[in-house]
Amino acid sequence: MTLPRDENSGLLTEKEQKDGQRTALLFNLFGQFIQFIVLGQFLQLFASDVLGMEPKRIATILSIIPLMLFLRIFIIERVRKIGRVKLLVWANVIRLLSIVVLLVLPIAWISFSVLITVLVIFSLAHQFGMGTVWQPLLRDITTVKDRGQFFSRMRLAFTLVNTVILVAISIFVGERVTAFSYKVLLVLGILGLINSIFWASKIPDVESRRQSRTPIKPKRLGFQRFIKTCKESPLLRKPLVIISLFQVAVMPMMVVYFRKILHIPADLVSVYLLMITLGSAISFLIWGKIADAIGFQPMLKGLLVLNIVIAPLFLLVAPFDQGVGAMVGSIDITHAITWLTLIFLGLAGGALASGSGIAMTTIQHYHVRAKDSLESMNIFDIVMGLMTAGAMFFSGYLIEEIALPAGVTSTLGGFIHFDWVKVFLVGVIPAVHLCLFFLVGRLPNTRPAYAMDDFFGSLFNSPVRTLMAQRNTFHTDERVRVDLARWLGHSENPLAIDSLIELTRDPSYDVKVEAVRSLGLSHSTEAGEVLLDIIKDGKKQHLVDHVAWALGELRYVEAVPQLVERLSPDFPFRIRAMAARALGRMGDPSTIEPIAETLRDPDVIPHLRSSCVKALISLNAHDEAELVFVSFDLLDNRYESFELMAAFSEWMGASAEWLLRKKPEQSMREGFVSYLNEQPKSVIKKEKAELIEVVKNSDLEALKRLVGRRNLLGHEKMEVLYQSLKAHVTELSEWGPTALLISMIIASED
């Protein structure tokens, strides 16, 4: 299934997109905190600590709110008439007035019915405004290439703001939320909504531009159109199932669970919430880059694995006695473990939740078509609302009707603690995540060159250092960019690949060469695809020899036809030599013949000859052994013969230690004799002493006699090689590299 993307091309300039992203970021700066206050964790604390409501009543409130999503169906077509941005502004004004009502009402007047009425109005305004138009607006100001990074920047921005606020709140709130402290939070929420109203009108509305170009006759969104969208939208298939399962595999009333069952003090709960926010903030530095670099599928699979791994840590969270504070000086070892566990779970949970959020948002936007984005995204949100309401109601029921009466059971000397909520957290949720792991694997991979191990590579191989280094991609100093390309080549982090690809387009030849060679070290399939495009590009022939080397290092077999083509005499010798070496590295037996054919050309230069010999050795071309030995002797007194001697040693099972110990000023013959003379006399047998004299004097006839007396068959699989070498040496008329090679084999056998 081909999914259309970036259908807003031409409706917004690049500058308008960037300005729109900046405005959207500023609009949403306090969005998460406002939700925390009015519909989230702080509402749970207020309802529990100040109003004294039971978990089921709190759950009823929080489960009714998401049902407001259904009312969106009746206004979707009205949105096009009113305008998405205009609706967003007025909806935020109504949200502001709702918070003002909560602020001015005396606590004694806030009954269950009053609270739920105000929250329903607030939620309706949210659903009719931000809930209806926000995701379509964001889709219009982002593209496939920058969507992950934008969502990461936006979430990082509002998470940092929330972190600062939560730090202050954790100090301000104390052990219990009071009426006064909650009123202070409402004032902060009002200030946040004033900020949102100011920036809302500045967000570009692509839908209005699209309609001005191609006027759309207004239609009523009836049942028939609803069904059509449900049938045709790619979003409402696998992505809907996957994200729905994510939505239900949560415990949304963790704060109530901590307070009602574990009696965890409010100040420790505030620390836990702060750690969640802090974990989100820190991780947002890399999640967007990872999502764009490797794709949402490998990222989401990796996040699911990490969620499953950390889930059992909830068993370490111990209950507190009612009325006991959480200050460090007043806790025992069990509660100290609880402190550390909640801090870690908050940090890790916040990081994993934010990463999952970015991955799922990317999945959502990837599967949306421009023509029905408003309808499909709202239908999607309606289903998510149902899932959220169900999860919220189930959480309240689980806490009050099952977990609270059953209590908490401790085992292993009070080290492990069980209750029914923990059974859900440690048993049910990981089981759902395991199912999701296999479902996510059936989604399209937007970056097919990457898999789940690349996610872990991105996460654990210095991601921050890699991202910091990438800031030099456009540095004006050429030397800095060269050093960057070289450094990225030694980085094992997949995040480096995109920057290296960018550097292959650098104006500097030196930067391009370094980037190409670094791509060759990356073990990346995507790098192979990019390098193959370069080698096909007739305008980049100045890079082809380096590209051929890099393709060989990658063993990118898809490049074999292009490399075989570059063995042709029509190409420069250096390109032909690097193509031969690359083919040798790839190990494709079908390339033996074209390489051998190149080697048979009497006009080849020594460098090309040595490269072809090396390639045939790498390809284990026993049938071309005679050609290889003849070509090796033609390289006498060439530096290439030094490299080939080492390759022959490995090929024929002989020791090459003497090559490594040879002094630079020595010839290979001198180095070999010197090495033999340095061996203990006890290991120098009569024939080896004879061999030393033969090699020292370059006595070819004496070598032939020595070879004739010996059986060089060695291993059966080497028979063809040994017989070819023996026959070749017998026919020699003067001392050459193969004479030294057979001497080395004799020395190794003694």
- Full set of structural domains in the chain with CATH: 14-208+242-452 (1.20.1250.20), 649-750 (no CATH)
pTM exceeding the 0.75 threshold for the entire prediction: no
Going by C-alpha positions, the residue among 146, 153, 42, 134 that lies closest to residue 92 is 134
Alpha carbons 107 and 178: distance in angstroms, whole number: 10
For residues 643 and 113, give the distance between their C-alpha atoms in angstroms, rounded to a whole number. 86
- pLDDT at residue 611 in the model: 93
Nearest to 105 by CA among 68, 64, 50, 67: 50
Element (H, E) at 467: helix 463-469
DSSP conformation class of 321:
P
**Per-residue pLDDT, 4:** 39
**C-alpha dihedral sign at 249, 239, 457, 468:** negative
Q: What is the pLDDT of residue 610?
A: 92
Q: Per 3-state DSSP, what percentage of the chain is helix, strand, and coil (rounded to 5)?
A: 75, 0, 25
* pLDDT score of 5: 46
pLDDT on residue 531: 93
Q: Which of 257, 188, 260 lies closest to 38, judged by CA?
A: 188
What is the reported pLDDT for 220? Answer: 46
Blockwise average pLDDT, block size 10, the chain, 750 residues: 44 78 86 79 78 75 66 67 82 90 87 84 82 78 73 76 73 72 86 88 71 50 68 85 88 86 84 84 81 88 95 91 55 80 92 88 80 74 79 85 88 85 93 94 86 89 84 90 92 88 92 94 89 88 92 93 93 92 93 94 88 93 90 77 86 83 85 82 60 86 82 58 86 88 79
Which pLDDT belongs to residue 513? 94
Q: How far apart are CA 13 and CA 357, in angstroms?
A: 28
DSSP 358-383: HHHHHHHHHT--GGGHHHHHHHHHHH
pLDDT of res. 487: 92
With 0-12 CB in 10 A as exposed, 13-18 as middle and 19+ as buried, what is 539? exposed
Tell me how far apart the alpha carbons of residues 694 and 635 are, in angstroms, rounded to a whole number: 21
